[in-house]
Structure 1
Amino acid sequence: MESEWRSRLTAAWLIGADRRQHFRDVLGDLLLASQLCFSGQGYCFALARFCTEEDALHLTAYLERYLQQPDCQYDQHWAISALLHIDSQAGTEHASRLLVPEGLWHQWNDAQYRPSPPSRFMDELCALTDSLR
């Protein structure tokens, strides 16, 4: 079980790279469950690559749950970056209510040992993946 995160992470990256959207709900459920370290990074990447309203809803559900738990440092940075990517591509504003001053993101981030602002690194990962195809 300890090494299972590697196979899940790899599978999620491959699913995202190939945009196999039929895995959307499975990945969203696995992200929300947050059972294994690191694998959530791949789930966030795949959902960002799919880039639909449904993916934004999965990411938002994850963030709403885990941003309320400051002791949990899971994949919040990956999820907010994926959500920001979807917002920029789809012209939506799902992340905006989480990022308002004193909102969930800021409350969670301020409680971290090394707080950092939300990043748009998912834009670069998705662009790099597109360039390799």
Structure 2
Amino acid sequence: MSDDHTVAGLQRHVAGVTVSHEHPFPVPPLPPQEPLTASLRDDWVRPLYMGLHQPQARACVARLALADDTVIARLLGQFDWRSRTAGAYLAALTERPAFTDQLGGLLLASEVCYAGSAYCLALVAFDTPASRDYLHRYLEHYLRQPQLHFEQAQAMAAILYLDDKNGTAEATRLAPAWADFAASRPGLTLDDACAVFVNDMAALRAMVVQR
């Protein structure tokens, strides 16, 4: 293997590409983005990528007015889980449902690890027919891919959260597929994923109120 291939492989791993897989979904259309500046990284990525429950994330509330569409698009357009996570959180915190297709497309493609939880959180925060449809499409495909241990539990927790909020029972029709998927992962419990999701949504709501 050449040094160039080794470097490229390492860069993809650092970006969050831990599993290569095929999927039937188009990659969402995001315009090419310039590399992150030190300012964007320090202002948004470092405070947010570890989650909204972190003190450094809550400190971002004072400057959320600076997180315009350009900032969010630039973060989502990076091929890196940390930047995309920060972009998804900012879209949710600033209530930008115009990013539904980008976030939903990134969730369906699942190119990098970890960021899927943030995509789910933002789609639930928008709570529109389009955002809910992306969650269902994700689960309808990935619950039938037991070899891929991605954000299936987080997406199911998102559906259950919406069911509780909206008085619906959408998770019922996904229950058989979830049971089959969970059987492939001993120790996986939906209760744990739901508890984490509820806490994350509470952190999001608290930050939105403080804006």
Query: Which deviates more from structure 2 when the two are superposed, residues 27-36 or residues 85-94?
Result: 85-94
Q: Which moved more, 1:113-122 or 1:30-39?
A: 113-122
- Tell me how far apart the structure 2 counterparts of residues 53 and 124 of structure 1 sit (CA, whole Å): 23
The CA distance in 1 between the partners of 2:97 and 2:149, in whole Å, is: 27
Distance 2:100 2:190 in 1: 27
Output the aligned Cα RMSD: 1.5
Q: Which has the higher contact order (CA 8 A, sep 6+)?
A: 1
* Contact 1:51–1:89 (Cα < 8 Å) also in 2: no
Number of equivalenced pairs: 130
For 2:128 and 2:172, the matched residues in 1 are separated by 17
Unaligned runs of 5+ in 1: none
Name the stretch that deviates more: 32-41 or 115-124. 115-124
Contact 2:124 2:131 survives alignment (8 Å): yes
Partners in 2 of 1:18 and 1:72 — Cα distance? 32
Indicate if the aligned counterparts of 1:52 and 1:86 stay in contact, CA closer than 8 A: no
Alpha-carbon offset, residue 52 of structure 1:
2.2
Quote the Cα distance in structure 2 between the aligned partners of 1:65 and 1:112: 17
User: What TM-score do the two structures reach when normalised by structure 1?
Assistant: 0.89
Give the Cα–Cα distance (whole angstroms) in 2 for the partners of residues 67 and 112 of structure 1: 12
Q: Tell me if 1:108 matches 2:181.
A: yes
Instruction: Report matched runs for 1:26-105 at 5 Å.
Output: 26-99=102-175, 103-105=176-178
List gaps (5 residues or longer) in structure 2. Answer: 1-11, 16-79
TM-score relative to the length of structure 2: 0.58
Give the counterpart letter for 1:18 in structure 2. Answer: T
Report the alpha carbon displacement of residue 124 of structure 1 after superposing the two structures with TM.
Answer: 2.6
Q: Deviations over 1:42-69 (max 9, x none)?
A: 1011011112222221101000100001
Q: Distance in 1 between matches of 2:134 and 2:107?
A: 8
Could you say which residue in structure 1 is the equivalent of 2:8? Answer: none
User: After TM superposition, what 4+ stretches of structure 1 lie above 4 angstroms from structure 2?
Assistant: none
Bigger Rg over Cα: 2
Q: Secondary structure at the match of 1:120?
A: helix
State the alpha-carbon separation in 2 of the partners of residues 106 and 18 from structure 1.
35
Which stretch shifts more, 59-68 or 12-21?
Answer: 12-21
Aligned-residue offset at 1:114: 2.7
Does the 8 Å contact 1:16/1:46 carry over to 2? yes
Q: Please state if 1:120 is matched with 2:120.
A: no
Partner of 1:131: 206
Aligned residues with identical type, % of pairs: 34
Q: What is the CA distance between 1:14 and its match in structure 2? A: 1.4
